[in-house]
Structure 1
Amino acid sequence: MPNAKLQSYLHFHVIVFIWGFTAVLGALISIDALPLVFYRMWLASGFIFLWILYKKKPLKMTAKQLLILASAGIVIALHWLTFFEAIKVSNVSITLALIATGAFFTSIMEPIFYKRKVIWYEVFFGVLVIAGLYIIFNVETDYVLGIILALISAFLSAVFSLINGKLAQKGDASVISFYELLIGVIAITIYLGFDTFIGEASAGFTSEFFQLSNQDWLLLLVLASVCTAYAFIASVAVMKYLSPYTIMLTINLEPVYGIILAFFIFGSKEEMNPEFYYGALIILSTVVLNGILKNKDGIGRFAKRRKMR
């Protein structure tokens, strides 16, 4: 089925391009990270719920599954909060370059989580990632907070992928996503509600929280529908026709697409010191090489797991 494979390959590139555009949208939306994630998760869970109704998928889950989904939902909420906050306090280039370390964190935790042996080249790539981070920390001293937040976000992304790797084996991916997003945003809602009653006047659900510009509403709808609900549902469909190797290499283009997009949209704000690009290139290269070697060894678990950005 060569035509289906080619169409799926091109379609997947579009999806990865959309994932890269997520960071740009985060910079364009004027509201803070917390309300941004709140609105994104509410809207995206609603869109996925409509898809589930359309496909007539069963929503039944056991208590144990819901407990695991709850932990995954909270992790993805924290991942997005740190991701968008990193963009707000630094820029898209810094955030996307550091998010690529998620594969490094996964390689550290996966042997423990899945009870497998540590692979020699993962240790070597880990050293290279640390070297890349050292270069970036040294040259981009104005963005230390953004770098730290992006690293936390990358770590949470790795935790989420490991949890989801087991969940995806036992349930429908869209139903799992619906519960994760819904539970994650319920947790944020409880936090905001608590803040409203005991926090300062500027905390929680204030009148300003619900006063969004028309542009922000439009960008949030694009973020929730196209970049979240559509990109996920479409990625699940096209991955049936692609090898884990192709998936891994294509996903690794996300920060490249995002950084290029950000440069064209934001211009000089995204220009970094040359040393930053050396450090980012080291990190991205280790991620690509890790994917190639995993595919040859027949491991490739990370490539098979669902991605959320």
Structure 2
Amino acid sequence: MPNAKLFNYLHLHFIVFIWGFTAILGELISIEALPLVWYRMLLASMFIYVYIYFKKLSLAVTRKLFFTLFLAGIVIALHWITFFAAIKVSNISITLSMLSTGAFFTSILEPIFYKRKVIWYEILFGLLVITGLYIIFKVEGDYFTGIVYALCSAFLSSVFSLINGKVAQQYNPSVISFYELLSGVGIVTIYLLGVTIFGTTTEGFTVSFFQLSTSDWMFMLLLASVCTAYAFIGSVQVMKYLTPYTVMLTTNLEPVYGILLAFLIFGEAEKMNPQFYYGAAIILGTVVLNGIFKNAKKRKREETLGNITK
């Protein structure tokens, strides 16, 4: 069992590294955010369907669950569109540092979503995140649009995780992911068809929309297969062996891996003002502290329940 734990811990780090590489691919792929997400969701849903087919999993879901997954699919599509839009108009470092605020948005939305009281340290950590954001806005004002896009993406990521949190424990994650991706690409397709018919000739399903370069196809296939389908299935697998706390802390390394990779690959284009890194460190540190506090509270509650049942 210890060997299995170590293997899955290393596997999780590899998956988080892959997630960090997603931003790199978003920069390398030359097409805009909307067609990029359309291709990603379409190809990833196909890859996951192949996995479901060979695993002989049932795709039967209730009508209520389908509408929940449909809503989640819209949210994840918007999350990815704003994520890649942020990269296109700013850079990877800005986008990934802002994405770390997802935990802050979750701490605000969770009491509303699950009807629980706000915890005192969540307010304190929220103020720290705002401080980190203020520092970044102050020194990187030229990237204002990218920062706003990335914050929207972080907010949508939080909403998506809260929706998924209610269904992921009850149903097969691969089936859930398949319907969410399919719903997302369906909504984007309807939008693009509407633009094609009623909009301008420069947007929507034009001839150029389907004319990807060889490098774009290669990066897109890598994004859809390894960074989406494989990473999702792999992350579900490691959760059988690792605690949610370990998974959460390790996942917080995604922006660190992504920013380091971006600097190594793109060099000076990703070099930021030193104060930017102070602000990013405050945000990331707050996220980690929030996880530590939550884990300590959960452990204390479990110990109390254990003593009562003795």
- Normalization by structure 2: what TM-score? 0.96
Give 2:267's aligned amino acid. G
User: Hey, what's the Cα distance between the residues in 2 that align with 1:12 and 1:101?
Assistant: 21
Give 2:260's aligned amino acid. I
Give 2:297's aligned amino acid. D
Gapped regions of structure 2 (runs ≥ 5): 300-310
User: Hey, what's the Cα distance between the residues in 2 that align with 1:234 and 1:160?
Assistant: 19
User: Hey, what's the Cα distance between the residues in 2 that align with 1:166 and 1:87?
Assistant: 30
Q: Give the deviation of 1:244 after TM superposition.
A: 1.6
Give 1:86's aligned amino acid. A
2:166 corresponds to 1:180:
no
Kept in 2, the 8 Å contact 1:111–1:118? The answer is yes
Matching of residues 153-172 of structure 1 within 5 Å: 153-172=153-172
SS at match of 1:241: coil
Gapped regions of structure 1 (runs ≥ 5): 300-309
Partner residue, 1:62 = 62
User: Hey, what's the Cα distance between the residues in 2 that align with 1:103 and 1:246?
Assistant: 15
SS at match of 2:292: helix
Partner residue, 2:117 = 117
Partner residue, 1:83 = 83
Moved beyond 3 Å, runs of 4+: none
List per-residue Cα deviations over 1:167-196 (Å, max 9, x = no partner): 112210000000000010000000000100
2:174 corresponds to 1:197:
no
Partner residue, 1:306 = none
Give 1:209's aligned amino acid. F
Kept in 2, the 8 Å contact 1:102–1:155? The answer is yes
User: Hey, what's the Cα distance between the residues in 2 that align with 1:61 and 1:133?
Assistant: 41
SS at match of 1:287: helix
List per-residue Cα deviations over 1:103-149 (Å, max 9, x = no partner): 00000000111111111111100000000000111110110000000
Q: Pairwise CA RMSD of aligned residues?
A: 0.7
Partner residue, 1:305 = none
User: Hey, what's the Cα distance between the residues in 2 that align with 1:93 and 1:254?
Assistant: 11
User: Hey, what's the Cα distance between the residues in 2 that align with 1:203 and 1:279?
Assistant: 37
Partner residue, 1:303 = none
Partner residue, 1:247 = 247
Greater Rg, structure 1 or structure 2?
2
Partner residue, 1:108 = 108
User: Hey, what's the Cα distance between the residues in 2 that align with 1:208 and 1:294?
Assistant: 49
User: Hey, what's the Cα distance between the residues in 2 that align with 1:47 and 1:97?
Assistant: 30
Kept in 2, the 8 Å contact 1:244–1:295? The answer is no
